[in-house]
């Protein structure tokens, strides 16, 4: 044990006992030309260096050794510890006190520098953690970044486990993130005392970040819910307008057929029956659109994102308008197939209504452009304007627009309809961000 202790402190021992003797031996040939005070100044320089490197304890011992070898070699009578001149005693006392003072001040300065470096390191780690969490909007990515940063700053393996409390060994400690805990920081026990500020700051920042993400998600859900409520109100207004014409026609034709005082010919009866049938079909189309809109407006509906081709989207939309698919295919001009991502079923519903409105209220040709940019996907449909609208046409395009707006809202995107009177074109654009 003594041998190991000696090997461990060989540099300190050499600086304490050997170097003061070396200084004296180097100055010994000049003993007749320099005073003991000059040698004492040189030794105090070495004491200051010793204090800076190894602390005040070794420096204090170096001071005592320096005084003894100075008295032995430079104070008459030489090579004894006797002091015949009292002035040398005062010099020795002052030298010891100065050596001790230098040792204490140097050690204090060293400790302050050490604490300052530690504080700067902790502050830098906390700044990097706060900055990194702010740049990441996904909880899993935030947990991975925090674990990686803490492992690098502490020089040890740090894990961040989401979910229930994990099982740890006696050498590991757990820090709960949030209340109730949503994640756990698993860190070696020794670092709780050496780096408490950084670890507790990471614990607090993660809890705040999780709460912020929850609030952001809730705010987004509230915005979508408010938009859906607004669209439901628009739906009621649209239904009151869209159902008025077919219902009035059905009621008028039915009353004529049911009135016994009216003498109608067979042709007139067939005509009224045909009117009732046609208006019933229009009502059926309205109810189908209402069902589509209800599906799109379900507040509990979760977007089922998947990868698909624009050709799949167009084929699905045409299939939903089977009776009009042949006519649409004749005048529809599409671009080349493009990969997309989103809820295919909802997007088929939106595109089907866009195509139906273009066919019913627009003029051919129908230019369909589907694509993807670095930030979003889009569906753009352009068609000409009809010069004269049929008097008996259905005014139900409002339902189709509401459906497209609802699908866009669920995808956190937007739907816009532009009319250019100069070029006599109508352009409908559905955009949604890449997830």
Per-residue pLDDT, 391:
44
The strand ranges marked E within 283-375 are: 306-309, 332-334, 339-342, 362-372
Kindly give the residue spans of alpha helices, DSSP state H, lying in 16-136. Answer: 19-27, 36-54, 56-74, 86-135
pLDDT tens, 122-157? 888 888 888 888 888 888 898 889 889 888 888 888
Lowest-pLDDT range of 197-206, 268-277, 351-360: 268-277
Distance of CA 271 to the CA centre of its chain: 65
- Rounded CA-CA distance 251/247 in Å is 6
Which candidate, 26, 13, 19, places its Cα nearest to that of 66? 19
pLDDT tens, 274-293? 888 877 877 776 677 667 66
Which candidate, 357, 379, 353, 239, places its Cα nearest to that of 296? 353
- Rounded CA-CA distance 177/161 in Å is 10
In angstroms, the first-to-last Cα distance of the chain is 65
Which candidate, 220, 219, 216, places its Cα nearest to that of 142? 216
- Rounded CA-CA distance 356/361 in Å is 8
Query: How many Cβ atoms from other residues are within 10 Å of residue 62's Cβ?
Result: 27
Check whether 320 has a pLDDT greater than 90: no
**pTM of the full structure:** 0.49
């Amino acid at each position: 044990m003594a041998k190991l202790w000696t090997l461990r402190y060989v540099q300190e021992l050499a600086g304490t006992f050997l170097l003061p003797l070396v200084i004296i031996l180097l100055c010994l040939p000049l003993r007749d030309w320099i005073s003991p005070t000059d040698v004492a100044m040189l030794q105090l320089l070495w004491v200051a260096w010793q204090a800076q490197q190894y602390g005040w304890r070794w420096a204090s011992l170096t001071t005592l050794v320096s005084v003894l070898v100075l008295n032995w070699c430079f104070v008459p009578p030489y090579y004894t510890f006797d002091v015949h001149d009292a002035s040398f005693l005062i010099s020795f006392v002052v030298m010891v006190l100065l050596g001790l003072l230098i040792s204490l001040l140097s050690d204090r300065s060293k400790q302050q520098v050490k604490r300052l470096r530690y504080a700067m390191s902790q502050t830098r780690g906390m700044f990097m953690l706060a900055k990194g969490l702010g740049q990441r909007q996904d909880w899993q990515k935030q947990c991975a970044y925090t674990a990686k940063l803490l492992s690098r700053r502490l020089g040890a393996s740090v894990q961040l486990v989401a979910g229930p409390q994990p099982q740890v060994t006696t050498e590991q400690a757990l820090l709960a993130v949030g209340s109730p805990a949503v994640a756990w920081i698993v860190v070696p026990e020794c670092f709780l005392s050496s780096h408490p500020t950084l670890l507790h700051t990471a614990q607090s920042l993660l809890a705040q970040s999780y709460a912020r993400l929850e609030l952001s998600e809730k705010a987004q859900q509230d915005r979508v819910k408010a938009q859906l409520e607004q669209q439901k109100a628009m739906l009621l207004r649209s239904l009151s307008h869209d159902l008025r014409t077919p219902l009035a026609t059905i009621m008028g034709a039915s009353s004529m057929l049911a009135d016994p005082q009216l003498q109608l010919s067979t042709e007139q009866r067939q005509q009224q029956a045909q009117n009732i049938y046609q208006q019933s079909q229009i009502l059926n189309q309205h109810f189908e659109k209402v069902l589509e809109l209800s599906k799109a407006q379900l507040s509990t509906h979760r977007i089922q994102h998947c990868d698909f081709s624009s050709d799949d989207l167009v084929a699905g939309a045409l299939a939903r308008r089977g009776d009009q698919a042949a006519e649409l295919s004749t005048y529809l001009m599409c671009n080349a197939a493009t990969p997309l991502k989103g809820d295919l079923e909802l997007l088929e519903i939106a595109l089907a209504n866009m195509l139906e409105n273009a066919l019913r209220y627009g003029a051919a040709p129908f230019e369909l452009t589907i694509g993807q940019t670095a930030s979003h996907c889009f569906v753009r449909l352009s068609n000409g304007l009809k010069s004269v609208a049929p008097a008996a046409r259905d005014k139900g395009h409002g339902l189709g627009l509401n459906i497209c707006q609802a699908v866009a809202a669920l995808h956190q995107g937007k739907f816009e309809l532009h009319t250019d009177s100069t070029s006599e074109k109508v352009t409908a654009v559905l955009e949604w961000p890449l997830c």
